[in-house]
Amino acid sequence: MSFARLIGNERNKQILQRLLGNGRVSATLIFAGPDGVGKRQFALTFAKAANCQKAVGNSFATDSCDVCLTCRRIDEGTYGDVTTIQPDGQFIKIAQTRALAEEVYYRPREGRQRFFIIDEAERLRDEAANSLLKTLEEPPPTSTLILLTSRPNSLLQTIRSRSQRLNFVPLTTAEMESFLTENYPRPAADTALLARVTEGRIGQATAFDLSVYRQERRTLIELLELLASGKDRVRLLKAAEYIGKKERDEFEKELDLMMSLLRDVFLLASGSSQNEIVNVDVADKLEQLAGKIGLARSIGWSEKISEVRRNLRVNINRPVAMEAALLGLAEGRV
């Protein structure tokens, strides 16, 4: 995808295109921001523009054409001068960075500039990070290093001080809807929901399964309706068991989705417009639920679910914690 087609983070786009225009692409860069906001795509587009075959002479193009063989191969991950380093297991290990430090001094095999993209750079072990320092101090003119990270402050200070940092932020809802409409066309209602659910994170939106989301959401809306009635203890116990027996990652997702629904209920109970909520496609149903739960209970329920979420750090018994939480909410003990 070319810079012209990328949406959002306009200032970073301008900086990278200015570097290309000035022929100054050998810097070490840190792309910092939440997962899924487009850091990796920006890095690949930067590499494509620097090596695009439409460039004249020894100068760099300021954008990729997306159609030449070089651009296509970079998109496919088969171009010899663009290398991505990813964690080997839990960490990026010293053997990986030593190999990079040696490889970085070779001239480009095919194009004008070599690019080494270190994904999840916060997973660099200290010894691996230290082995990169000489390379960062004296980067060869034909190589560019880009560190992608969601936790820039976890990088060694010596790495941060030797790198130019670009901060990436999620797209606005309007930007995300525009991006999805142009690149992943679908019914307008689906686009609107996807833009809100993924909170401006392109990487999540392109892999998000709305059908699974809607199915899980339907179950949780039924649970909130059951809680609002304060009846049927047996069904509440079954719901607690169903949610509590999920694997930890899935359990966290259930809690996050419940928190999202409760935020919507809170907004509607406080008089906000339906356009301001996340789950816009079921706004009428949530409006009815807001009338049953009310403002005070929506706040208390959110705090209780958030407490369960926080307690996951101490490895709680999930079924027992969920049972206690749901029964407490139903009986008004929150």
Place of tokens 């930890």: 248
Per-residue pLDDT, 220 = 94
Task: Tell me which residue of 179, 163, 131 sits closest to 5, measured CA to CA.
Answer: 179
Q: Report the DSSP beta bridge partners of residue 88.
A: 91
Residue among 14, 23, 144 at smallest CA distance from 84: 144
Q: Tell me the C-alpha distance between 236 and 330, whole Å.
A: 9
Cross-strand partners of 166: 31
Has domain 209-330 been given CATH number 1.20.272.10?
A: yes
CB 256 within 8 A of CB 299: no
Per-residue pLDDT at 173: 92
pLDDT given for residue 92 in this prediction: 93
Enumerate the β-bridge partners of residue 144: 115
How far, in Å, are 6, 9, 25, 333 from residue 60 at the CA level? 19, 22, 9, 65
> Domain coordinates of the chain in residue numbers?
10-169, 209-330
Judge whether 10-169 and 209-330 match in fold. no
pLDDT at 334: 56
Determine contact, residues 274/280, Cβ cutoff 8 Å.
Answer: yes
Spell out, as residue ranges, where the chain has pLDDT lower than 50. none
Tell which residue, 133, 112, 119, 115, has the closest CA to residue 46: 115
| CA gap 137, 156 in Å, rounded | 14
* Domain 10-169, architecture per CATH: 3-Layer(aba) Sandwich (3.40)
H/E stretch holding 298 reads helix 283-311
User: Given the structure tokens 């970073």, which residue do they identify?
Assistant: 12
| Report field, pTM of the whole predicted structure over 0.85 | no
* Alpha carbons 202 and 224: distance in angstroms, whole number: 30
Sign, CA dihedral 145-151-155-161, equals: positive
pLDDT digits (tens, 9 = 90+) for 243-293: 988 898 899 999 999 999 999 999 999 999 998 999 999 999 999 999 999
Give the strands of the sheet with 143-149, arranged side by side.
82-85, 114-118, 143-149, 28-32, 164-167
In angstroms and rounded to an integer, the radius of gyration of the C-alpha atoms of the chain is 24
For residues 296-318, b (16+ Cβ closer than 10 Å) or e, as one string?
ebbbbbbebbeebeeeeeeeeeb
Q: Which residues contact 201 (CB under 8 A, 6 or more apart)?
A: 34, 35, 36, 37, 170, 171
Residue for token pair 């079954």: 238
Distance CA 122, CA 191 (A): 32
**The total number of residues written for the chain in this structure:** 334
